[in-house]
Amino acid sequence: MGIYLVILPLILRNKMVPSPFLIYLQALIFLILVFLIIIAILRRRLLISLHMKQKHLTCLRK
């Protein structure tokens, strides 16, 4: 996220001359951000589901 905030002004400043490299870089950063967000969401869901399973198992033992 921090890297994106550093590169974003550079991309915006060079918007007048959109070189293929900058477009590629922007797309790459966007994809990485989306990927990280998806991983975070999936990880949270996985942790919640594991937690629920543990609760269920402890309830069954009692």
Cα 53 from Cα 39, distance rounded (Å)? 21
Predicted pLDDT at 42: 92
Question: Which pLDDT score is estimated for 20?
Answer: 77
- What are the structure tokens assigned to 12, written together? 């915006």
Per-residue pLDDT at 1 exceeds 80 = no
Residue range 7-58, pLDDT digits in tens: 666 666 666 556 777 778 888 888 998 999 999 999 988 888 888 877 777 7
pLDDT in the model for residue 53: 79
